[in-house]
Each structure stands twice: as C-alpha cells, then as structure tokens.
Amino acid sequence: MWFQKEIILKSRNKGFHLITDEILSSIPEIKSIKVGLANFLLKHTSASLTLNENADPDVRTDMKNYFDEIVPENKNYYKHTSEGGDDMPAHIKSSLLGNSITIPISNGKLNLGTWQGIYLCEHRNYGGNRKLLITINGKS
C-alpha cells in the first residue's frame, strides 16, 4: 500500500520545534500499517527536519544557539541577501541538516526511540507556513 499527503505546518518563529504530534494528527491512516516506512519531505530551502530529544526543551534552545553561532546572520561575504540577512544562513543550515527523514512504521506507529521526536528546524526569523509531503509505504 502506498499513501501520500501534503500538509501545511503552522507558522513558527526561528528555532527548533517539536512537530511529531502535529504530523501524527494529520495521518490517521498510519494506524492501519503493520510494517512500513514513512518519508517526510519539507518542501523548503530555508528550514529543515531532524530527529532529536523530545523531552527537555533546553535541547531545542541549545540547537538553535549552536546553529546561530556556526552560521551567523548578516555576514558581508553573503551575496544572496535580497530576502534579508537571515535568508542565506537559513539555506546553509537547511543543507547541513537536510529536508527529509524516513522513519519505520511498526504496528500502526512511528517506530521512534523513547526520547526521539521530529523537529521542524525553522531557520528564518519569520518563516511562514511550511509544506510537508508525507509518503507512506507499508503492509496492513
């Protein structure tokens, strides 16, 4: 069985945001999959997806601070500046983290580790709504 759906993630400010529950609420179809894979593609070049700590919010703050430190805004060597000082750094951060993840499905659930959650990594100061394409392949 194949299933595909595009959802719109709500707008968020710059930061690392736990979106596992938002995703799961939009794909009740996953409950019928015994074994399979779910691929999540973020259709943007200035935000990214990753898996990380789902319990302590300090991890998300530390991730934002780290990436802001290694890829700072408003550097004079950036040529792509027409969309603002945060845009080129956002593209770099997106390339470093990537814009898709694949997670196994087992018995109707994403087979994540105990402390794993899906992050939307918003690299723009005000990124707007984000499109997420979800493709599921599995056996009932």
pLDDT digits (tens, 9 = 90+) for 36-77: 999 999 999 999 999 999 999 999 999 999 999 999 999 999
pLDDT of 127: 87
pLDDT of 12: 96
pLDDT of 108: 98
Helix (H) / strand (E) containing 116: strand 116-126
Average pLDDT over residues 13-24: 97
Share of the chain above pLDDT 70, in %: 100
* Residues contacting residue 17 through CB under 8 Å, at least 6 positions apart: 60, 119, 120, 121, 122
Q: What is the mean pLDDT of the chain?
A: 97
Distance, in Å, from the CA atom of 72 to the CA atom of 24, rounded to the nearest integer, reads 33
Fold of 2-139: Jelly Rolls (2.60.120)
Average pLDDT over residues 122-129: 94
* Residues contacting residue 3 through CB under 8 Å, at least 6 positions apart: 29, 135, 136, 137
pTM more than 0.75: yes
Whole-Å CA distances, 116 to 5, 30, 54: 23, 18, 5
pLDDT of 129: 96
